[in-house]
């Protein structure tokens, strides 16, 4: 089913949590500001929206701490799985709460109850209630979460993987990925000063960019950019997207209404 003028927007874990400090903390003020920008854009432009957010430390730190990236087989894994699910749900309840406070008809959908994966890849996704919510002009909110897995018992479903699936399923008009840097650069802009933003990544320059990274001087640079490109290609599965800095005040509003925002266009 295609939903008319559907936008899908991601708020990265780096935007809504203290990911950089690796703390189990929600950046509530940032979420509230972004909620107000979304509300304003929706009122002015009238589009349908699915919001997806990352997990930040609520996901990643638990997954590393309990070593649950390769399957749930021991009691300690099970303990970690339960904690991760609970923490991700907590983060989502804060995000949904802030959206509601801003007047958005947000509804949280726990991917753990809707998605089944096989070796970390989505194989089932029950979207009936999401579709119903969209039909009622609500804003479904999904998030990176641990979900049941046919081989691994449970595995991580990233926000980006959910976005690719939902964008295809509902024929999204625009996919916007809000993170804490203004696009993809020639090297990680957080640890390098001499970097350039890549305005467009498409089939024409993807291989060349990967190669260029291979020639880069430090291992760090190589991993940052290479890893990022390969991950995006795998997770977006051919869905066009625009990456921008959601920490810049006003950028979420501008991206939603179609005003110019600095960022990287991806068409892979």
Q: Which is nearer to ligand ADP, 134 or 246 (CB)?
A: 246
| Residue 179 lies near ligand ADP (rule: CB under 6 A) | yes
Site for ligand ADP in 11-70 (CB under 6 A): 12-15, 19, 54
Contact status: 244 vs ligand ADP (CB under 6 A): no
**The pair of three-digit structure tokens given for residue 161, joined into one six-digit string:** 């993987």
| Residue from the set 76, 132, 151, 190 that interacts with ligand ADP by CB under 6 A | 190
What is the CA angle 124-128-134, rounded to 5? Answer: 125
Going from the C-alpha of 125 to that of each of 11, 23, 134, 209, the distances in angstroms are: 21, 31, 16, 33
Shortest Cβ distance from residue 72 to ligand ADP (Å)? 24
Largest CA distance in the chain: 53
Residue closest to ligand ADP when measured from CB atoms: 12
Among 82, 110, 173, 188, binds ligand ADP (CB under 6 A): 188
The residue within the footprint of ligand ADP, chosen from 187, 239, 255, 256 (CB under 6 A), is 187
Based on the shown chain and the rule CB under 6 A, indicate whether residue 189 belongs to the binding site for ligand ADP: yes
- Give the span between the Cα atoms of 35 and 18, in whole angstroms: 18
> By C-beta, is 148 or 165 nearer to ligand ADP?
165
224 binds ligand ADP (CB under 6 A): yes
Neighbours of 191 (CB within 10 A): 11
Rounded to a whole number of angstroms, the minimum distance from the CB of residue 84 to ligand ADP is 16
The DSSP symbol for 178 reads E
180 binds ligand ADP (CB under 6 A): yes
Residue burial 20-54, b: 16+ Cβ < 10 Å; e: rest:
eeeeeebbeebbebbbbbbbbbbeeeebbbbbbbb
76 in contact with ligand ADP (CB under 6 A): no
Q: What are the two backbone dihedrals, phi and then psi, of residue 264, each rounded to the nearest 5 degrees?
A: -120, 130
Q: How far is CA 77 from CA 155, 156, 198, 218, 244, in A?
A: 11, 13, 40, 35, 35
CB of 251 to ligand ADP, least distance (A): 13
Angle at 8 between CA 18 and CA 117, to 5 degrees: 80
Taking the complex as a whole, the smallest distance from the CB of residue 203 to ligand ADP amounts, in Å, to: 19
Residues near ligand ADP, by CB under 6 A? 12-15, 19, 54, 179-181, 184-185, 187-190, 224-225, 228
């Amino acid at each position: 089913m295609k939903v008319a003028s559907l936008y899908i927007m991601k708020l990265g874990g780096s935007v809504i949590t203290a990911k950089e400090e690796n703390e189990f903390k929600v950046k509530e003020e940032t979420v509230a500001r972004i909620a107000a920008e979304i509300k304003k854009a929706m009122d002015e432009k009238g589009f349908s929206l699915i919001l997806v957010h990352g997990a930040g430390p609520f996901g990643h730190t638990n997954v590393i701490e309990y070593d649950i990236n390769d399957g749930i087989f021991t009691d300690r894994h099970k303990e970690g799985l339960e904690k991760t699910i609970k923490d991700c749900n907590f983060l989502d309840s804060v995000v949904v709460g802030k959206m509601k406070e801003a007047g958005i008809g947000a509804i949280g959908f726990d991917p753990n109850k809707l998605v089944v994966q096989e070796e970390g890849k989505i194989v089932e996704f029950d979207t009936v209630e999401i579709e119903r919510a969209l039909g009622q002009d609500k804003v479904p909110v999904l998030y990176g979460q641990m979900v049941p897995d046919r081989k691994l018992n449970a595995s991580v479903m990233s926000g980006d993987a959910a976005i690719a699936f939902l964008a295809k399923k509902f024929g999204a008009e625009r996919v916007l990925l809000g993170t804490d840097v203004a696009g993809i650069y020639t090297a990680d802009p957080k640890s390098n000063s001499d970097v350039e933003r890549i305005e467009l990544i498409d089939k024409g320059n993807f291989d060349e960019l990967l190669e260029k990274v291979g020639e880069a001087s430090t291992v760090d640079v190589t991993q940052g950019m290479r890893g990022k490109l390969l991950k995006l290609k795998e997770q977006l599965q051919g869905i066009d997207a625009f990456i921008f800095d959601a920490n810049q005040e006003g950028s979420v509003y501008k991206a939603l209404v179609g005003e110019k925002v600095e960022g990287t266009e991806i068409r892979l």
